[in-house]
Structure 1
Amino acid sequence: MMLTGVIPPVCTPMTPEHEVDATSLVRLIDHLLEGGVDGLFVLGSSSEVAYLTDAQRALVLETVVGHVGGRVPVLAGVIDMTTPRVLEHARAARAAGADALVATAPFYTRTHPTEIRTHFRILADRGGLPVYAYDLPVSVHTKLTADLLLDLAADGALAGLKDSSGDDGAMRQVILGRPAGFSVLTGSEITVDSALAMGADGVVPGLGNVDPHGYVRLTSAAARGDAAAAKEEQERLVRLFQIVRVGGSRMGGSSAGLGAFKAALCLRGVIDHPTTALPQIPLNADETRRIEKLLAAAGLL
């Protein structure tokens, strides 16, 4: 399954009581599909997967897969600390009807590259669906090297890569050495035009929840060779991405970023509440007003 284009990592709307808001989630899916996205990635970082219970994960998967109804591929994050736990999530994703799995390296435990290779090969062998590696060293504390990824790609253990490492040099190595059919997707919202120019196949942008149309315009411009239009759209999105810094130093990066995405979605009328999972710090009224101004400047209100 060769993935290209815009595959947003879908936010998980929540009620004020911190339960999954399935009604808002359905509206968010419609918002993304109407924006022209090429796929959906649920239960990733922007989905707050690390905060969700297994029951909440199941509800998200069932809601999204059921509502999408095969219109676009649905990738399911099976992110967890060790191989046995990841395999449990893979079984649930397959049963729910997901089209592919997305997994990081194991974490919390201290692993060796040989163990990481084993982890992905077991998931590919037993998971029953194509596997995409998620390179996220800021959270996993392990960098998936180009050599490791290309080794797994050559074996057929991996179908592609979501690169959120910030290491464009390593991503380029993967692009240059990958086998046919191996998708490389950048996870950076602010360097999509340059990633596409070096040969990436698409983007998995958290900010794409807020403005899917913008990322679709960007990738479409790049695909038709209009570098100037792609650059112009990218620069507008860079300015919009300032919403993730509104929380400043009084909260963690996840609280600021995920809180900003949800506040923006609430201001745009897509979801009912900007609630983030515990123990994240919520944005205050002044911060929400600043996000509103940035949305207006981007032409989204």
Structure 2
Amino acid sequence: MTTPSRHHGTHPEHPPRPFGRALCAMITPFTPAGDVDLSGAQKLAAHLVAEGCDGLVLNGTTGESPTTTDAEKTALVGAVREAVGDRASVVAGVGSASTRHTVELARAAEAAGADGLLVVTPYYSRPPQAAVEAHFRTVADAAGVPLMLYDIPGRTGTRIEPDTLLRLARHPRIVAVKDCAYDLLGSTKVIAGTSLAYYSGCEELNLPLYAVGGAGFVSTVANLAPRVLRAVLDAYDAGRTAEAARLNRLTVPLAELMMASGLPGTVTAKALLDALGLPAGPVREPLQPAGRESVDGLLAAYEALRAGQLHHP
């Protein structure tokens, strides 16, 4: 199993990076019959790591966690762990609306080889902040690996408020946040007041959050363009901020089509991966596949990004 601390920055000015910098929110490949394709997942995981991802986040939103079974989730973690060895961190999504169920998923993922756990705010029941805090503490107490808290109120209906995060940061196993709250001020406050590693979960905030002390990103677009997304961070780390901004601008058309076109990122990512001959397969209902016009637009944006990379290596 990977030791997460090996990914920490080597210089004191670097923020903590417990799972690396460039993380892909990996899709879950399915067979044509709709079953989880473990062989395909292993091939895709190895490809993503070879293309520059130093962490893979499984069984998240992009991984269709609402429609996969507990057994499928655990099998996926084990298969990907086997495929990537110690070349990348494996973070397993274990979130649910139930604290008890989340603890069960956490223990199963840890036993399957996960280096860390992505734990989303309990959804639908809209718990108050004291209950949100208690939920995360219960999961962290039950786990033997670090937690990345997933703050995505647009989907869960409940925020992890900055003051709650400031308190949770004192727990030794709560080490990171996947930030989809669209509150750069609140995130900056927590980054300044804690050692939590902040990972952008929104493509348009990858560079801005990194610039205020974030650790990196957990990206759906990284299923298709891991090299250029990582290159943005590399340029920024090297002090070439104008280059980082230019590379970031190259990614905008594809990111907009994948994440803000009215189709879920899972649908657009699988459509592109399928078109490129990489493991993906169908989405699970209630999701529906992308139409031909959408696929053509996605492919055009992908090819334009590749052309931009070639002209500006």
TM-score by length of 2: 0.89
**8 A Cα contact 1:104 1:135, kept in partner:** yes
Counterpart selection for 1:211 from 225, 230, 254: 225
Q: Which amino acid aligns with 2:250?
A: R
CA–CA separation in structure 2 for the residues paired with 1:177 and 1:193: 20
Distance 2:272 2:216 in 1: 23
> Which blocks of at least 5 consecutive residues in structure 1 are unaligned?
none
SS in 1 for 2:53: coil
- Cα distance in 1 for residues equivalent to 2:257 and 2:125: 34
1:34 aligns with 2:50: yes
Alignment of 1:270 onto 2:286: no
Q: How does 1:238-257 map to 2 (within 5 A)?
A: 238-244=252-258, 248=262, 253-254=263-264, 257=265
**Alpha carbons 1:81, 1:106 under 8 Å: kept:** yes
Conserved? CA contact 2:27–2:280, under 8 Å: no
Could you tell me how far apart the structure 1 residues matched to 2:257 and 2:270 are?
11
AA in 1 matched with 2:225: D
CA distance in structure 1 between the aligned counterparts of 2:150 and 2:211, rounded to whole angstroms:
21
Contact 2:27–2:223 (CA under 8 A) maintained in structure 1 = yes
Query: Residue 262 of structure 1 aligns to which amino acid in structure 2?
Result: K
Specify whether residues 160 and 30 from structure 1 end up closer, same or farther in structure 2 by C-alpha distance, changes over 3 A only.
Answer: same
Query: For the Cα contact (< 8 Å) 1:247–1:283, is it kept in 2?
Result: no
For the residues of structure 1 that align with 2:260 and 2:163, how far apart are their CA atoms? 38
Question: Partner residue of 2:200?
Answer: 186
Paired AA for residue 145 in structure 1: E
Q: Counterparts of 1:296 and 1:281 in 2: how far apart (Å)?
A: 24
Evaluate the alpha carbon distance shift between residue 10 and residue 121 of structure 1 in structure 2; reply closer, same or farther with a 3 A threshold: same
The one-letter code sitting in structure 2 at the alignment partner of 1:244 is M
Distance 1:245 1:126, change over 3 A: closer
Is the 8 Å Cα contact of residues 89 and 115 (structure 2) preserved in structure 1? yes
The aligned counterpart of 2:32 is 16
Deviation at 1:170, TM superposition (A): 1.2
1:297/1:215 CA distance change after superposition, 3 Å: same
- SS state at 1:50 partner: helix
Distance 1:108 1:190 in 2: 26
- The 3 A distance-change label for structure 1 pair 205 and 93 is same
Give the alignment partner of residue 290 of structure 1, picking from 284, 291, 297.
297
CA change 1:96–1:157 in 2 (3 A) is closer
Distance 2:175 2:153 in 1: 20
* Residues 270, 280 of structure 2: 8 Å contact kept: no
Q: Percent same amino acid at aligned positions?
A: 30
1:19–1:229 distance in 2 versus 1, CA, 3 Å: same
Q: State how 1:69-88 maps to structure 2 within 5 Å.
A: 69-88=85-104
Residue in 2 that maps onto 1:66: 82
Alignment of 1:140-219 (within 5 A): 140-179=156-195, 182-219=196-233
Distance 1:110 1:190 in 2: 27
Give secondary structure in 2 for the equivalent of 1:204. Answer: strand
Q: Is the 8 A contact 1:246 1:290 kept in 2?
A: no
Q: Cα offset for 1:3?
A: 3.2
Write the mapping of 1:84-95 to structure 2, written as runs, cut at 5 A.
84-95=100-111
The aligned amino acid for 2:202 is S
CA contact (8 A) 2:145 2:173 kept: no
C-alpha distance in structure 1 between counterparts of 2:93 and 2:259, whole Å:
26
